[in-house]
Structure 1
């Protein structure tokens, strides 16, 4: 694969904690994301969804690292990244963190693999900084700034539960939401639940206002990178509708449906998704 600058030919794992020494001229201020870097080849940035962390990609991590230089990031409020409750946790906040991470690693351009929240951040990155993105692979894609009924309503409810009854209660209720129906019926459900049980809950408890999201829908036609849209065939209607909209609006989009999967095919059907990801990345060479 040669559509983005290849990383140095070193195959090893390292943990990155960014220390921002100089102020950036943009707001909001970035936080120092934790990321795991491993593998050898073109850069591939993996962005997890809300309440997960970089371990969401555990089933894809080994195979992808055989041909790509992976950056498995923890978004702010998740995993090993900072989780204060006096900052905002919106798409623009995640965007500036990701840019900071890429800059720290010296990554000029990368393929992006994102799921749900991570997919939205990837889409925003491609529109705001197209030179930083070689291609997009979006699982359960969302459009930042656009309402998404089941997701938005659940987040509001979890925010109330976290404040009234605590984060532990909110985590338990979150895992019972309809978009986890497919996960709960799988043998590996307990492993994802363990990841979610370590979620800080800071985005539910934070009071800081999120930065306004730049207009996206009207600019989708300007995106020139190849975009792969992945959903489970049993995903919620609203997520399938979003994928159809993106397929219509994006000039170079292709949509994939994974049989027997719901909202999180990479976790529910890694046997189908992992080979698909390898094939997509090879096609983007």
Structure 2
């Protein structure tokens, strides 16, 4: 299995999909693989590369698609230390790009993955071609916070009740009735408690507000209009803060807009990344 290694030695699992896939032992960025442009997909909090399984194929015809397991998740190492932060996850993503032999990639991050993508574009601008930030937030005191009711629904002691609440925040009732699962967006099974705690803190502590104006990559901000898990009010905050960013709200969509409304979201993102729109 292909692994990258972060600066602190943590092993990070990744996969490459799509046309002309790069072999796992192809070397570092100095031997960049010729072929289709690369697209790095970054998943949400406490979720693995499987987050993208329902829609990854929408991008494989145009890009070599790279997915990864955050530190602590899936096949990646699971240290119990203070190395978990959205800015640190961005550095991990650079290690993955290095291992995959990619100097520059389009980056599409959703939810906490969008927070990570912000830092990737700020700290490593030469590595980011076009940037898509989905259902995410600038973090910190300037962000639009979820309501107390949503927070209470996720803090229940009944695990089944929390799962139901999370699903209802991700998808509309109509979509849930027609799609019995499996659901890839409600956390990776078997994740240790210390990792869940550290991922939650990393996401909560994210604050890129002061750094966002430094982003130079062409940026698209996408959000479900009915998202109350990460309130849709965060989308215009990001779009106004990032120079030249475009904004697209998807009517009727909740947090997992990219899956439930893939008929709208995937063509929208593809058009932006290929320069068609």
Q: Normalised by the shorter chain, which TM-score bucket?
A: 0.7 to 0.9
- Answer whether contact 1:32 1:97 (CA < 8 A) is retained: no
- Find the aligned partners of 1:263 and 1:138 in 2 and give their Cα distance: 13
Gaps of 5+ in 2: 20-35
Structure 1, gaps ≥5 residues long:
1-14
Distance 1:210 1:114, change over 3 A: closer
- TM-score, length of structure 2 as denominator length: 0.78
| 1:232-271 matched pairs, under 5 angstroms | 232-236=224-228, 239-271=231-263
Q: Could you tell me how far 1:180 is from its partner in structure 2?
A: 1.9
Helix, strand or coil for the counterpart of 1:52?
coil
RMSD over equivalenced CA pairs, Å: 3.5
Q: 1:244 to 1:269 in 2, by over 3 A?
A: same
Where in structure 2 are the equivalents of 1:1-285 lying within 5 Å? 15-19=1-5, 24=7, 29=8, 31-40=10-19, 41-145=36-140, 149-150=145-146, 173=162, 175-177=164-166, 180-182=169-171, 185-186=174-175, 187-188=178-179, 190-192=181-183, 196=187, 198=189, 200=191, 201-206=193-198, 216-236=208-228, 239-283=231-275
Name the residue aligned to 2:30: none
Question: Matched residues in 1 for 2:198 and 2:229: separation?
Answer: 29
Does the residue aligned with 2:117 lie in a helix, a strand or coil? helix
Structure 2 Cα separation of the partners of residues 171 and 35 of structure 1: 31
CA contact (8 A) 1:116 1:140 kept: yes
What is the aligned residue count?
257
The alpha carbon displacement at 1:189 in A equals 5.5
Distance (whole Å) between structure 2 residues aligned to residue 233 and residue 171 of structure 1: 27
The 1:199–1:89 alpha-carbon spacing in structure 2 relative to 1, beyond 3 Å, is farther
Q: Scaled by the length of structure 1, what TM-score is found?
A: 0.76
